[in-house]
Structure 1
Amino acid sequence: MSARDDLLAIPDEVLRSGRIGQAALVFMDFRDAPKCWWTGFGDLDAAGHRWQGLGDLISVSPISTSYQVSAQKLTFQLAATQEMIALALDARHRVRDRTVTVYLQMFAMDGQAVGGVENGQPLGSPLSLFNGAMQKIAWAAEGSTSRQLTLDCKGVFFRRNSAPRGRWTDSDQKARHPGDRGFERTPLYANNYQAPWRR
């Protein structure tokens, strides 16, 4: 079912009640320890996952909803817990280039059940707001009591100008065309190498 069909399946009286809230759901695919967080309190069961209320997630930078083919950036503030610090220290292997997705989830809010939908119940499936890859976790400390972790992420288009296997290297050329030896001598020419001509 598409997102449009999912929204159309919500009863009309619920949509017109004016009692609809929203929250962000955040999935971070850390190696060995994927995390599902949402910007509310307590645990939430939605879309086949259990989302932890806030947890180690402190804030999310603003997300642009314009539809453009650009490399969006997103920044998360994370709590400096032991687990998050361990991820920061091993970011190259457990964090870098791993998937991050931010969803928008609508909820029935404030008041009695309307159209058979209970208060606080998720409405429809989550709508994807941001898809990208986690990059690095930067950390900072002020004195002995204040620590801060910042996770930088880039949108799915941040490598759009880099063709797969697009380098002029011997390994990339052989991956494109097995057995091709056209780039074997490329490293020799990097420093003004001149091949001697023979008569």
Structure 2
Amino acid sequence: MSAFFTPEQLELLAASTVRADFLITFEFLSATERAWNGNQALPANDGNTYLPMFGFGSVEGLGLAGQGTVSESVTISLDGLPGQALDWLSQALANTADVNQQMVTVALQLFSEDWQPVGLPIPVFRGFMQPPRVSRSTMSTEAGATQSISVTAENIFFGRSRPPFGRNTDRDQQARYPGDKFFGFVNSLLFKTITYPDF
């Protein structure tokens, strides 16, 4: 472990209070975006600047890193509306192909007492982003609705046992049998009522 962390990082990890946050790098097809959950832009020691998500971001599903060929997926979410300083929400929705199967890296950054980054970011997950999903909470009398966008990322071992093009999606079906529309209308069948038999 001492070869992986610097002496300064080891000292911070041994303290009673550890200050840390995730730094996320989205390698979109058109451009690379970097983000963290702070309130201002963060110039990190890797030479990159990470834009703020103002506490509205979350990373779920992270487990112990480096456990061999383990299948893992994480979900990265951002609550809010377009127009924030970090606007990957509208960018992701505008062009799903810009996101799908592109790389994302989640790294752990340690901070000093005055919240200055210490050492290089430590990568804890790297995977392929899936198409983004949007949800909207229900409005109440106390608070308005909140729109959220989430992107699930799968590591290289996720679904490894599946054959190529083994999903029941129109994209995979086109790769197997070009021109076959069998899975082309799956989305339109959600919540649809089918009467059978229909006399």
Question: Are residues 6 and 124 of structure 1, via their aligned partners in 2, closer, same or farther at CA, if it must alter by over 3 Å?
Answer: farther
Which of 134, 137, 141 lines up with 1:139 in the alignment? Answer: 134
The 8 Å contact of residues 111 and 118 in structure 2, kept in 1 or not, is answered as yes
Pick the structure with more helix per residue. 1
Deviation at 1:130, TM superposition (A): 0.7
Separation in 2, partners of 1:12, 1:145: 43
Letter in 2 for 1:90: N
The offset of 1:102, in angstroms, is 0.4
Greater share of residues in strand: 1
* Structure 1 residues 18 and 88, CA gap change in structure 2 (3 angstroms): same
Say whether the 8 Å CA contact 2:108–2:121 is kept in structure 1: yes
Give the alignment of 1:81-160 within 5 angstroms.
81=82, 83=87, 84-91=89-96, 93-109=97-113, 119-141=114-136, 142=138, 145-158=145-158, 160=160
Check conservation: 2:37, 2:54, Cα contact below 8 A: no
**Structure 2 CA distance for partners of 1:38 and 1:4, relative to 1, 3 Å:** farther
For each residue in 1:48-100, what CA deviation from the matched residue of structure 2 results, as whole angstroms up to 9, or x when unmatched? 10011226962111411152422211112124416523422421x20001010
Please give the root-mean-square deviation of Cα atoms over the aligned residues, in Å. Answer: 3.2
TM-score by length of 1: 0.63
| 1:123, distance to aligned residue in structure 2 (A) | 1.7
Give distance in 2, aligned partners of 1:11 and 1:96: 35
SS in 2 for 1:7: coil
- Point out 4+ residue stretches in structure 1 off by more than 6 angstroms: none
Match for 2:21 among 2, 23, 27?
23
Contact 1:56/1:81 (<8 A) preserved? no
The 1:5/1:138 distance shift into structure 2, 3 A limit, reads: same
Pairing 1:72–2:72 present? yes
Q: Matched residues in 2 for 1:86 and 1:50: separation?
A: 19
Runs of 5+ consecutive residues of structure 1 not aligned to the other structure: 110-118, 165-186, 188-199
SS at match of 1:129: strand
